[in-house]
Structure 1
Amino acid sequence: MSISRRSFITGSAALTAAMAAAAAFAVSRPVPGTYGDAGPRRPVIDTDALDTATEYDYVVVGAGAGGVPMAVRLAEAGHSVLVLDAGPATTDPDVYEVPAFHLFASSDPEMSWDFWVRHYTDDRLHGSAFVRKRDGVLYPRASTLGGCTAHHALLMLAPENDDWDRLGRITGDPSWNALVMAEYQARVREWLPIETSPAAILAEDPTLARLVTAALVDAGQLAPPASAIDLNRGTIAGTLLDPNDPAAIEAYRQGVSLVPQSTRDGKRYGVRERLLEAAPGLQGRLAIQSDALVERIRFDTGGPRPRAVGLEVVVAPHQYGASPVRRTLTAAARDAARRTVTARHEVIVSGGAFNTPQIMMLSGVGPAAHLRAHGIDLVHDLPGVGGNLQDRYEMTVVTEFDRPFSVLAGKTYGAEGDPGMTEWRSGDPNALYRSNGLLVGIKQTVAGGSEHPELFLFGAPSNFTGYRPGFAADGIRGGDHFNWAVLRGYQKSMDGTVRLRSDDPTEPPAINFRYFDDGQSSAGTALDLRAMRDGIERARSVNATARRLRFGDAATDHEIYPGPAVTSADDIDAVIRRDAWGHHASCTMPMGADGDPRAVLDARFRVRGIDGLRVVDASVFPEIPALFPLMTIFAMSERAAATILDDRAGGGAGGRTGGRADDRDVGARTALSGDLGHDHDLDLDHDLRTDGTR
């Protein structure tokens, strides 16, 4: 491949624009203050609410992406809300807060739930990540206040408009559309800060700058013309700095961008912060109970339809079998720790794509034959519970350089005396650790796919080939690897299951994603393999371009994964089938139209055939949305709150209203009587910190 002078100038101008805009953005952010003991204090928050009250209007199971935004809005509207989470309230502060440490957050034993999942029914189809003694591939989840927003890589991409329109078509509810959902996406941005990596990373490291420039040059045919570059604003056609620009999404725009991350002043920001920042102003209405494992939902079956009336909960730390630091209780200890929780209005399950269907099935809601096989009394036969499991396909292209990246020199990722931590703690807007490491992204359409982008590539100085034991340490070792991750959105060949292993609430379920139609050949498999192959070829092409741009630095590199010998379509497909992974499990409690036998929920989040029970999390989607789903889940949670309030006010009987957020007084401040307790207080001035270090 030859590089024309015009292409090089365009790429260089684009990089200059990106760096200038990002630098201006960074320095315009206020530097956080450093407070000593005499500094400003925030109110303390109780996270042992069940010590003082066990009855609430709404009980939300799960303090993650689906549960928290909704819970806050319900409390703001004047209702008493209890948020339960099975994980701890506090985790290692540096591992949690530092964006550069997200791989460590994903493997922090204090908050990790390590599921071992199958990609195929046939053992022989798995690759080297399959651990036979665990009968699966490692799939890290997080159990703590914030759920998986406590450990994810912080990347934030808005959904495509068709994600919402498609949901309307599937459910038969026209109020699910992009125009209506724009309101709820705006509500998310009221509380969700988004930043980008410091531009100084590229200014300080010519090799990384060369890789980013190569992406701009190589993907230039996907981008607007050079005339669209605005150096004053630091944008290309208004979108370089922010790929979430609604105009870019509306135009199905492809090409290179900076990578938005959910941080505030260089610290992780997720729904943990949303919950704990809202709670002081909602005392008496918003209650939190950590270390609370839900055993089952309680039902009143005396009426024409079962009604959810509460939960059985065991309050004790690290009970669940997926926890690396599991503490097994005796039967007597479990009985002593068990609490009965009552929901006056509704129980809302937001436990995620694995645990929400598990809780439902343990409670007697699910496929009748499967429940009877485990000796569970049937409350309501819903065959779709735990089916339809979907995820992304992801792969990487990893190159090894002949020397470490200069920007990583001396950085020890939190070890004693680490200069990177000194910079980060100082509030320096150019500190390396303010970045999640994802320096550049490429959106790209797929041949045979939809009009909007279905591939996303993102580059980072890392050595990552999927989730396997030791992935965090492997990811940073040496400081001389660069990783292009290839993510295939909107896959067409995955339809997995979550099934009980037993009736024990502490035992993780059996999970089988059934990748590539469980190893079979199909039209969907062919499309997904081609898309992943295109992504790998794009990453290799960018690397080749970077080698040709080696003017300002002497570093050389070679590909170590998938490896230079893997070149034919058949060989690349074989590696993809063997080694692909995912990290966005969804769709196991899907919404659907009346009459759809696989639909578990209606369009208003209600469990079909049961009163007083809803689901609000990633499991509700009938098809996995967006390239990265978190912003979609946040907006869905905001809508769920408005829908619940609308139904409570009597406006949702027809099931066809959009449940607008402003239909209720979400600013209500009517406190319920009663003290919710002060036995397990957290000092928010220290951001839920413990004394642990890493």
Structure 2
Amino acid sequence: METTFDYLVVGAGSAGCALAGRLADSGSDSIALLEAGGHDHHVLVRTPAGLAAMLPRAGARNYAFQTVPQPALGGRRGFQPRGRGLGGCSSINAMIYTRGRPADYDGWAAHGCDGWAWDDVLPYFRRAECNERVAGHDDDPLHGGTGPLHVSDLRSPNPFAQHFIDAAQHAGIVRNDDFNGEEQEGVGWYQLTQHDGERWNAARAYLHGGNARDRRCNGGRSHLHVMTGTQVLRIVFERRRAVGVVAWRDGVEVVLRARREVIVSAGAFGSPQLLMASGVGPAAHLREQGVAVVHDLAGVGQNLQDHVDIAVHRRVASPELFGVSLAGVRRLIGETLRYRRERDGMMTSNFAEAGAFVRSQPGLPEPDLQLHFVVGMADDHMRRLRMGHGYSCHVCLLRPRSRGEVRLASPDMREAPLIDPRYLSDPQDMDGLLAGLDIVRDILAQPPLAVFGGRPLRAEGRDEAEARALIRQHADTIYHPVGTCRMGMDALAVVDPQLRVRGVEGLRVVDASIMPTLIGGNTNAPAIMIGERAHDLIRFAPHVTLRIRETAVVE
């Protein structure tokens, strides 16, 4: 097995796939993409509705982490599904394509992240995107039509999602046909990372050359080495320069070397965990874990942010909605056969088909709440099956004030880290969710949905005390953790605006962990943008790359 490469990319999630694929396309350097999980060649990955089988539980494609007990949530442990295998979370997510608002990125630049303002990042969103509305063209100012990442309208919209859109309009929310257009506010259909009725994950976009069944996983590029089943245990340093990694592969430890750079793309939990396991992080915590300190970098693992979410459910006796019943099972069998023949029907659903961006109170400069309308009850991350049919509407806080952290449970990367989002530790976050609950209940009470009846799944409470209790008992993540290797120029920043880890050499972080603050929307598209931009920073930024001499590794 070849063990020396120009670049090592650790983690084949959304950002890692984008970066590795672009590096392979733009030069002849050898790139090794190291992924602990397996390949993504599976019917559940290709089928959009397959997420219902992958999201709720740990398995080959889902780490299914848990948080530490959350005091503001009654001591409950939150559920943190994270993608495992090629494509990472883009292989198990709801495929929603949103970017946030220009002000999100302008805020990054204003706080020291030069080159990350909206005008800087928009070209990378457009370069990545092949939006079916402008497919084949690159003259749209906001959307790309020739990129590798297919973005599509829903193939078979569920009628209840249309009822939700109508109900929201009855409640006074404006219609919006493009959440990534000039304005984000309003209600409408989500666009998805789908193509011809199949999921279009980051691996399919950047590694396989569009072929979901490409067993080589490299799109025919001989200098791109995609190594699945390779768990990186730690980064190897010579003095303060990263020169390779130690990985667990085929039951043994192997050393893989990087002539140019080691690039960590292991996500908001995995990237800080790997840095700390390798000796880069808060010195006191590393010593407690028995890890030799390479560089004392206090910000590693800090600044964890996530979109905390609460859902309202309604039981409705309609097999048009996903659910558990004899009629529903019969329909699902028929829809599965239809999907196999035509790539059409209910199995193309991402469940969260429609949504809205709204303000919790008048006068806010941007929407601060996001709604996801789900065409099934989807209780407790779909981990709790409910008999019958129904729908749910989720509301999440787009710009939470609460901050958490990631810490090592042990120096072994094969063990889950300690994840503490500290949900609702800032009381203003609870106020935002309370306002969101009122907005959701108002929408569900409007005639286009109320005409179908619908019994609440659980007592929702109409006074504030009962609503607070509902949030404490049932709020959880909507799957958007970021910020744990924060970009910036201050003392607590982990990476600089070129994504280089501060205080060491030959090491970058490229994934959602570098976000200084959460963006106002789903985070998959921004993670892919980060991978796209990282490519240009590596290839074209003015710096001298020192090629490491090929000598024995010093550990």
Give the TM-score, by structure 2 length: 0.87
Structure 2 CA distance, aligned partners of 1:438 and 1:72? 29
Are 1:274 and 2:205 an aligned pair?
yes
Distance change >3 Å, CA 377–CA 211, structure 1 → 2:
closer
**Residues 27-81 of structure 1 deviation map (CA, whole Å, 9 limit, x = unaligned):** xxxxxxxxxxxxxxxxxxxxxxxx3x11111100000011111111111121211
Match of 2:170 in 1: 217
Q: Distance in 1 between matches of 2:179 and 2:107?
A: 21
Query: For 1:283, which of 197, 203, 221 is the aligned residue?
Result: 221
Cα 1:275–1:450 shift into 2, 3 Å: same
Kept after mapping to 2: 8 A contact 1:586/1:624? yes
Task: Measure how far apart 1:292 and its partner are.
Answer: 0.5
Provide the C-alpha distance between the structure 2 equivalents of 1:449 and 1:344, rounded to a whole number of angstroms: 53
* Aligned-partner SS, 1:412: helix
Secondary structure of the residue that 1:453 maps to in structure 2? coil
Distance 1:403 1:267, change over 3 A: closer
Query: Contact 1:390–1:495 at 8 Å: present in 2 too?
Result: yes
Contact 1:211 1:546 in 2 (8 A): no
Q: Is the 8 A contact 1:60 1:348 kept in 2?
A: yes
Other-structure match for 2:476:
581
Structure 1 residue 539, shift from structure 2 partner = 1.5
Q: CA–CA distance in 2 between the matches of 1:77 and 1:256?
A: 40
Change in 2 beyond 3 A, CA 1:186/1:413: farther
Question: Which residue matches 1:691?
Answer: none
Q: Which residue does the alignment assign to 1:191?
A: 148
Q: Which residue of 1 aligns with 2:365?
A: 451
Judging changes above 3 Å, is the alpha-carbon distance between structure 1 residues 411 and 267 closer, same or farther for their aligned structure 2 residues? Answer: farther
Secondary structure at the aligned position of 1:356 is classed as helix
2:427 maps to 1:525: yes
Other-structure match for 2:67? 117
Q: One-letter code of the match for 1:81?
A: I
Matches within 5 A, 1:520-599: 524-526=426-428, 528-546=429-447, 550=451, 555-561=452-458, 563-564=459-460, 566-582=461-477, 583-593=479-489, 596-599=490-493
User: What letter is aligned with 2:543?
Assistant: G
What letter matches 1:94 in structure 2?
A: V
Q: How far off is 1:626 after superposition?
A: 2.7
CA shift in 2, pair 1:496/1:407, >3 Å: closer
Give the superposition deviation at 1:260.
1.2
TM-score normalised according to structure 1 size = 0.71
Q: Is the CA contact (8 Å cut-off) linking 2:243 and 2:259 kept in structure 1?
A: yes
Structure 2: stretches of 5+ with no match in the other structure: 130-146, 210-216, 547-555
Counterpart Cα distance in 2 of 1:616 and 1:502: 24
Matched residue pairs, number? 517
SS at match of 1:420: helix
SS of 1:634's equivalent in the other structure is helix
- What is the aligned counterpart of 2:92 among 151, 160, 177? 151
Query: Separation in 2 of the partners of 1:414 and 1:115?
Result: 33
Q: 1:157-176 counterparts in 2 under 5 A?
A: 157-173=98-114, 175-176=115-116
- Seen in structure 2, the aligned counterparts of structure 1 residues 140 and 428 have a Cα distance that, compared at 3 Å, is closer
Partner of 1:372: 287
Q: Deviations over 1:396-423 (max 9, x none)?
A: 00011245447878453998xx111111
Question: Aligned residue for 1:36?
Answer: none
Match of 2:141 in 1: none
Q: How far does residue 286 in structure 1 lie from its aligned partner after superposition?
A: 1.1
Give yes or no for contact 2:109–2:117 (8 Å, CA) kept in 1.
Answer: yes
**C-alpha offsets along residues 342-379 of structure 1, whole Å, 9 cap, x if unaligned?**
10000000001111111111111111111111211110
CA–CA separation in structure 2 for the residues paired with 1:489 and 1:639: 24
CA separation of 1:414 and 1:112: change in aligned 2, threshold 3 A: farther
Distance 1:216 1:89, change over 3 A: same
2:190 is equivalent to residue 259 of structure 1: yes
Distance 1:73 1:548 in 2: 46
- Among candidates 325, 350, 354, match of residue 436 of structure 1: 350
Answer whether contact 1:395 1:466 (CA < 8 A) is retained. Answer: no
Partner of 1:71: 20
Q: Which residue of 2 aligns with 1:95?
A: 44
Residue 549 of structure 2 is matched in structure 1 by none
In the alignment, the residues of structure 1 paired with residue 119 and residue 538 of structure 2 have an alpha-carbon distance, to the nearest angstrom, of 20
* 2:396 aligned partner: 487
Give the ranges of 4+ consecutive aligned residues of structure 1 lying more than 6 Å apart after TM superposition: 406-409
Deviations 1:148-172 (Å, cap 9, x if unpaired)? 1111111111221012111111225
Give, in whole Å, the separation in 2 of the partners of 1:514 and 1:428.
Answer: 42
Contact 2:148–2:206 at 8 Å: present in 1 too? Answer: no
Deviation at 1:575, TM superposition (A): 2.2
The reply on whether 1:650 has 2:543 as its aligned counterpart is yes
Q: What is the match of residue 300 of structure 1? A: 238
- State the identity %: 29
- Judging changes above 3 Å, is the alpha-carbon distance between structure 1 residues 84 and 150 closer, same or farther for their aligned structure 2 residues? same
Counterpart in the other structure of 1:466: 380
Equivalent residues of 2:243, 2:261 under 8 A apart: yes
Which is strand-richer, 1 or 2?
2
Q: Which has the higher contact order (CA 8 A, sep 6+)?
A: 1
Task: Output the CA distance in 1 between the equivalents of 2:510 and 2:400.
Answer: 22
Alignment partner, residue 136 of structure 2:
none
Q: Secondary structure at the match of 2:33?
A: strand
> Which of the two has greater helix per residue?
1
Structure 2 residue matching 1:73: 3-state secondary structure: helix
Larger radius of gyration: 1
Cα deviation 1:405-464 (Å, max 9, x = unaligned): 47878453998xx111111111254x1111212232111123288412221112122123
Worse-matched range after superposition: 377-386 or 109-118: 109-118
User: 2:527 aligns to what?
Assistant: 633
Give the Cα–Cα distance (whole angstroms) in 1 for the partners of residues 450 and 543 of structure 2: 64
Matched to 1:69, the amino acid is: A
Q: Which whole-Å CA distance do the structure 2 matches of 1:573 and 1:628 have between them?
A: 25
Name the SS for the 1:515 alignment partner: coil
Alpha-carbon distance, 1:282 to partner:
5.2
Distance 2:349 2:33 in 1: 31
- How many angstroms does 1:213 deviate by? 2.1
Partners of 1:94 and 1:160 lie apart in 2 by: 34
Indicate the RMSD between aligned Cα atoms, in angstroms: 2.5
Q: Tell me, yes or no, if the aligned pair for 2:263 and 2:509 is still in contact at 8 Å.
A: yes
Q: Is the 8 A contact 1:413 1:421 kept in 2?
A: no
Distance 1:293 1:428 in 2: 35
| 3-state SS of paired residue (2:476) | coil
State the Cα deviation string for residues 536-555 of structure 1 (Å, max 9, x = none): 112111111136863xxxx4
Judging changes above 3 Å, is the alpha-carbon distance between structure 1 residues 449 and 88 closer, same or farther for their aligned structure 2 residues?
Answer: farther
**TM-fit CA distance, 1:485:** 0.9
Counterpart Cα distance in 2 of 1:531 and 1:449: 14
Give the superposition deviation at 1:473. Answer: 5.7
Judge which range, 342-351 or 442-451, deviates more.
442-451
CA contact (8 A) 1:119 1:515 kept: no
